[in-house]
Each structure stands twice: as C-alpha cells, then as structure tokens.
Structure 1
Amino acid sequence: MLWAALVLPLGPDSTPPSSDALQGLGTWALQFTPRVAVVDEAVVMEVEASTRLFRGKRALRDRVVQESADLGVTSVSWAPTSLAALALARVGKENGIRRPIGELLDELPMGALSATSKHQTTLTQLGCRTLGDIRKLPRGGVSRRFDKELLGAMDQAYGLRPEAHTWLTIPEGFKLRVELMSRVELAPALLFGARRLLMSMCGWLAARHSGTTAFALRWAHDTMRSKEAGTGGELVVRTAAPMRDLEHLCRLLAENLAKVELLAPAGDLELEALDVHALEERTASLLPDTVRAGESLTLVLERVAARLGPERVLRPVLVEDHRLEWMQHWQPAPQPVAKKRIRTTGIPQPSFVLPEPLRLATRGNRPMYQGPLHLLTGPHRVEGGWWHRIKDGETEGTKNVVRDYWVALSDHCGVLWIFQERLANEETAWYLQGSFA
C-alpha cells in the first residue's frame, strides 16, 4: 500500500481546519483515487493503484506537492499506512517508504498520533518519549490502563491491523464555500481565494471525467455595510466548450472580475458548477505531440527514419496470404506500401500468436494442453505456400502447409487457436498457435 497524507494548518489556539477547507481538499484529491478520507486535520488517500496512471510515484508526488500547496496544504507525507503518513506529516518528514515503517515511527514523538497524544501526560510519567517507547510497554498493562483506541491506533499505524475509513464520495454537484483571510475591497483580489475553489472544482470534474461550460462565483458582503450594497454579488463565467483547465478558467475569471466593482468589502466566497458535461478523454501517445497537431504518422516515421537510418525504423504491412505466420511482414518505413484489398476468409483469428507453433501432446488423438481440450468450431482448412521457396544453407524447400484449424476451449487457459497437421509419415500432429483475448 502507498498512502499520502495532506495536512492543513491549524487555526488560532490549535483549532482544527474548517470542514469546508477539508471538504475542498478531499474533493480535489478524488481525481487521483476514489479512496480518500478525512482524518483529523488532514486528508489521506491510498494511491498505490494510481501510480501507473499518473506516470510513476515520482511524477505523482511532484504533482500532488505542487498543486496541494495552492490549497493551503503545509505538509505532505507518504507511507505504507494512512496513520503513519499522517504522523510523519505532523513532524515534517515526507518520505516514509525508503526505510522500514517500524524504524521511522519508533523515532517519532508521542504527539505524532492522535490516540497517543491524548494520554501524553500519563505516558510521560511512565518514561515514554517516543512511539517506540510505548511499543516497549507490556501490551496487557497498556490495554488495562488506557482505552482500546491506543493499541488499535498503534497497530494500524505500524501495519499490524487493517485500517477502516469512511471514504468520501463524489458529489453529484459541486458547490463549495471558503472564508477569505481578510476583507477584500477590490474585485480582482477575489481571484486569490477563488483559485482554491477552482482547483477543487477541477479535481471534482476530473474525478467525474467531465468538464464545465458555466460556473458561478458568489461573494458575501461584510456585515458592516450600507443597505444599498446588499448582501452580496454573483458573477457567472461561461466557456465555449466543456473544460477543466485550471489556468484557462482562472484567466477567464480574472478578465471578468476586472469589470466588477464591489459595493462593499467581501468576506466569503462560494463557487458552483452550473453546466457539467461529459468530457471525451484523449488517449496518451508514445509519438511526438506534433502527431496530435495534425502531422500524419507517415511523415513522423519518415523523419525518424531519416535520423536513425531506414533499416532501423520498420512498419508492419499486410500480405494477401492465409497462412498466419506470413499474413504480415516488416519493411523499412520510408518504402511505399502497395494498396491492396486484403480479402478475408471469415475464419476467426486469435488475439495473441506464439512466435512458433507449440506441438501438443495427444491422448487418443485428442489434443492436450494443461488438460484435455474441447473442440468448439472447425475444421477450417488452410492450404498453400508451394510458391514460397526458402534456402537454409545447402537445404532448399518450400513453406507449403496443409492445416485444419480449430477453436478449442481449455478449462485452465481459455479459448485457444490450434491446428492439426498431417506429417510426411502420416502421423497426425496437433499444434497450439495462439489464444483469444
């Protein structure tokens, strides 16, 4: 498991962050994983299954750290358990996956875990200073003297007991409020607080694979205002196409705020997504970005072949041949491809083909592959290749084949593509050539 803990700063007199701030951060985190929960003053998320989607742990870490800072996150830590990540974040240690988690937690002060900080006075009188000191105490005595949450939280942090969280769910609509740090008198200055709301909205849109064409920013005037100013104002921003690009939405909002005049100082902001539409995702490509900009694949291959040499860049070409091994061949990319209409036989073709056919064992002329095979459809006769002459050293021959193909079912391997071939000595042989997805 790989957990991340994102800690928000405590308020005056160590008051916890507001529920709106935690909700906004949690909504933003849902774009990375559906397993997001609020724990004390932090948001934790399990991202082990998401690392490949976001191009590895390093790329995911960099993005989370960079973007979460705009949401007010003061510390981010990574560890095999959520409580361990939260404990590390509280003491300012980020990486909890390079060393065994037991060694790291043993060094932390008792206040790193909420369950132990409640009993810090008593534990200090017992001579405990770190979490490792608490682990050295007899478990029986600890369970009798303290509540069950203490040992339970310790075991969960060290990975000895499974953790249980109440996961955040993706709301059907987006509507979030934030209180500004100080009263704002000029409308363009509202963008600082609005950017946090926009980040949460973009995270919500990413989790729903959607984009917005309209959103509303509302502000509430300070209580010490004139009657003519009213309770607040509203600004609706619209886009020509569904999107969730944070920087573009911020620029649009800034242009609109520049035309607004506040009738009284504003203290609270609220953002609501009005029109939400499904957004078609673009598949990532291994080719240069110029391909997406309109350059054809042929031009890209020609340019790469010119740099590396024509024999080092190959492309597959279909051949009008019913023999599976010779249905396609590779040729240098710059060479022209003859446009032929390839006629199909209607015979089912396997999804995966072995480099060389694998001869199968038989029992009573019945093919075996991890158990007996059940023949589903066939035979499909493929015969030809007498024109395909080869020379291997002093030996010369042809690639003529006479095969009867079958679709077979294996109890352990699924649907297979096998064929039967009669050898020169009249012995019947079965071969496995591919499998179906």
Structure 2
Amino acid sequence: MLWVALSLPRAPDATPPSNDALHALAAWALQFTPRVAIADEAVVLEVQASTRLFGGRRALHERIAGQAPDLGVAGIAWAPNSLAALACVRAGVLNGVRQPLQDLLDALPMEVLSAVAPHHLTLAQLGCRTLGDVRRLPRGGVSRRFGKDLLNALDQAYGLRSEAHCWIELPETFHARLELMARVETAPAMLFGARRLLVQLCGWLTARHAGTTVFTLRWAHDTLRAGDGGELTIHTAQPMREVEHLHRLLQEHLARVELQAPVGELTLEVVDVVPLPEHSASLLPDARAESESLTRVLERIAARLGPQRVRRPVLCEDHRIEWMQRWQPAPQPQPRHPLAQHGMPQPTFVLPEPQRLAVRENRPLYQGPLMLLTGPHRIEGGWWHRGEDDASTHHVERDYWVALSENAGVLWVFQQRLAGDDAAWYLHGWFA
C-alpha cells in the first residue's frame, strides 16, 4: 500500500487547523483517489491504485506537491500506511518508502504518534525517546499500564494490524469560504486568497469529472465601515477546470473592480457545472496542447476590454443565408445544437444585400447572359422572425440557382417565388 499525508500548520498558540480547512483540503484531494480521510491535523490519501493513472509515483508527487502549497499545506510525506505517513509528516520525513518501515519508525521521536501523547511524561521517565524505545517495552506491561490503544496504534503504524478509516465523501455542491489573514484594500490583492479557493474548486470539479462555465466570487467588507460587500460572476466560453486559466481570467476582471472598504472574507460558489468527457492519453505528444487555444485568448481579451467589445460568429439553425450566423460576446458559451444540413450548395462569398439583375428574354444578366446549372433550391421561412420595428417580418420565398457566367464565374442567384410577371432575379453570392 502507498499512503500520502498532507498536514496543515498549527496556529502560533498550537491550536490545530479548523475542521473547515481540513474538509476543504480533503475535498480537493478526492481528485486523486476516493480513499481520503482526516487524521488529526492532516489529511491522508491511499494512492496505490492511482499511481498508474497519473503516470507513476514521481508524476503523482509532482502534481500533488505543485498544488498543495496553494491550500496552505505545510508538509507532505509518503509511507506504507496512514499512521506511518502521519508520523513521517510530523517528523519532516518526505519519503517513508525508501527503507524498511521498522527501521524508519524506530528512529522517529515518540511524539509523532498521537497515541503516545496521553502517556508522554510517564514514557519519558522510563527513558523512552523514540518509537523504537516504546516498541521494545514489554507488551504485557504496556497493556496493563497504558491500555490497549497504545499497543494497537503501534501495531497499525508498523503494519502489524489493519487500519479503519472514515472516508470523506465528495459534496454535491461547491461553496467555499476563506477568511483572509489581513484586510485587503484593493481588488487585485484578493487574488492570493481567491487562488486558494480556485484550487479547491478545480479539485472538486476534477473529482466530479466536470467543468464550470459560471462561478461567482463574493467578498465581505467590514460592516462597520461600508455595506455587506460585493460579488463578481465569471463566465467562460467552454467548460473549464484549469486553475491557471481561471486565475488569469479572474485577475483581468478584478483589475476593473473598485472596493468600497477593506475586505476580510472571500466566498467562492460554482453556478453551472457541466460534465466533461475524459480523453485517453496519447502515446505521442500533442503539439496543440502546448499552445493556448483561441477560446481562452478571447476570454482574457474580453475580460480586459469588456464582453461587448469582443464578438465571435456563431452558426444558427436557419436555412436563410442572411441569418445562418449571428454575432455574440466571445465569453458566452456557443450553442450546442448542430447546424441543420439541407444539402444545398453554399457560396464562398455572400453579398451584404442581394443585387438585382437585369433580365433579357427571361434570362438573368451579369457581365453577360447566365447559364443556369442546378436548381431550383427552394428556401421558404422566417415568418416568425420580426424586424426591428416589430411590425414587419423577415419571411422569404426564394428559388436559388447555381449559374455560370463566362466572365464572372459561378454565381449564386435567386428568383422571388409567387412574384407573378415581376419575378426579378437577384445575385446573392459567388463561388471561389
């Protein structure tokens, strides 16, 4: 077995970490394994089955050690069982699997085992300084004088007895609160605390195999000086759970926020959670993964300039060529419905407004007579689409043709249906 212990620092007056901080760390750790428990001032993880998933022990250690400091983790240790890992992290031993477990624990101070604390003074008077000294005492005498809890804890730490844990369950919703160590007077200064909340959020999303498109950061002011506080809601164009991208996005938005009073408390809440499919890792590296995607770049620019100043085209389910696409703010998620496939040939270039063509002997002219190649391709609809004056509609009834001009190439023309004798021809686009 392979266990990891993550310890949080105690307060200067030796007060242990709060339950909220421990549960927040445990919820973040669930992204690595479902076997997570709280042990005193630390969180322990059984990761034996996860090493292959994350690419080996070294890769798993680098991933845990890379994000754990953002959550205030003071120490990390590895060992064959949870009590041994907890003892190692208290003693400052990082790797407890390089040497035999008995030799490792025998050399550690006896204070690293919680069961020793009630009997520390008596054991010290007996000349015990290390766990090895305690272990070498007569078992019968230890059981009669100190009770069975001490012997059970020693046996569990040395791997002679199985352990029992109360596993942490992943909460259904994410709502994290952080009290800042000092009041901050500018919005960008909140990023330090907000990053810790973002790391917790991304760990929670990873454990749920999901991403978020909307999350809200709230802050509380000193109520004696100004109001209740404020909030900032962030939208992403696609489901996201990467800490660095969300941190940069939040940084751009906070740069335009002015605080009314110093802030002492932050709250992060996820609004929209979207399941994300897991992708199998490729044997060969993907060069595209090394560069930042266009979606993320647009999100950052929109956060800096404002969402209404950065727009992107979005395809719509509409057969009318003028309304097959619309423009929307870049940070908004794109519609998930597919574009309707009607089998019509689509021109490469489309005119902003259809151009009326001259007609000779019922044949349209454009730099000479046109030869109709294929058609008609009938389009009818739009009675539901109201104009800006809310009185007219954008209803169209057209027969489109692919036409050939000796001088202009292949064109896209149409004729109004049911127009009677005044059935004019229009040029709407041309093919490259």
TM over 0.5: yes
Residue 289 (1) aligns with residue 286 (2): yes
1:249-296 deviations in whole A, cap 9, x for unaligned?
A: 001111111111111111111111110010122221112314889xxx
What percent identity do the matched residue pairs reach?
A: 65
1:278 paired residue number: 275
SS of aligned partner of 1:119:
helix
Q: How does 1:143-158 map onto structure 2 within 5 Å?
A: 143-158=143-158
Q: CA deviation at 1:150?
A: 1.2
2:227 paired residue number: 230
Q: CA deviation at 1:238?
A: 1.0
1:45 paired residue number: 45
1:46, 1:153 → 2: CA distance?
18
1:84-140 deviations in whole A, cap 9, x for unaligned?
A: 011111111101101111110010111101111221101101111100001111111
Q: Hey, which bits of structure 1, 4+ residues long, moved more than 2 A?
A: 290-293
Q: How does 1:332-411 map onto structure 2 within 5 Å?
A: none
Letter of the 2:261 partner, please give it: A
8 Å Cα contact 1:219/1:234 also seen in 2: yes
1:193, 1:291 → 2: CA distance?
32
Q: How does 1:19-418 map onto structure 2 within 5 Å?
A: 19-223=19-223, 225-226=224-225, 229-290=226-287
1:292, 1:39 → 2: CA distance?
38
Q: CA deviation at 1:78?
A: 0.2
How many residues get paired? 290
SS of aligned partner of 2:162:
coil
1:129, 1:216 → 2: CA distance?
51
2:86, 2:289 → 1: CA distance?
42
1:254, 1:30 → 2: CA distance?
27
8 Å Cα contact 1:20/1:178 also seen in 2: no
Structure 2 gaps, min length 5: 291-432
8 Å Cα contact 1:77/1:89 also seen in 2: yes
1:159, 1:152 → 2: CA distance?
10
2:197, 2:2 → 1: CA distance?
27
1:107, 1:35 → 2: CA distance?
29
SS of aligned partner of 2:71:
coil
SS of aligned partner of 1:206:
helix
- State the superposition RMSD in angstroms: 1.4
8 Å Cα contact 1:37/1:43 also seen in 2: yes
Cα distance, 1:292–1:133 mapped onto 2, change above 3 Å: closer
SS of aligned partner of 2:34:
coil
8 Å Cα contact 1:24/1:197 also seen in 2: no
Letter of the 1:258 partner, please give it: A
Letter of the 1:140 partner, please give it: G
1:155, 1:233 → 2: CA distance?
53
SS of aligned partner of 1:89:
helix
SS of aligned partner of 1:282:
coil
1:329-381 deviations in whole A, cap 9, x for unaligned?
A: xxxxxxxxxxxxxxxxxxxxxxxxxxxxxxxxxxxxxxxxxxxxxxxxxxxxx
Q: CA deviation at 1:148?
A: 2.6
2:251, 2:289 → 1: CA distance?
30
8 Å Cα contact 1:214/1:275 also seen in 2: yes
2:392 paired residue number: none
Q: CA deviation at 1:20?
A: 2.0
2:258, 2:14 → 1: CA distance?
36
8 Å Cα contact 1:176/1:270 also seen in 2: yes
Letter of the 1:137 partner, please give it: L
Cα distance, 1:186–1:292 mapped onto 2, change above 3 Å: closer
Letter of the 1:82 partner, please give it: S
Q: TM-score, normalised by structure 1?
A: 0.65
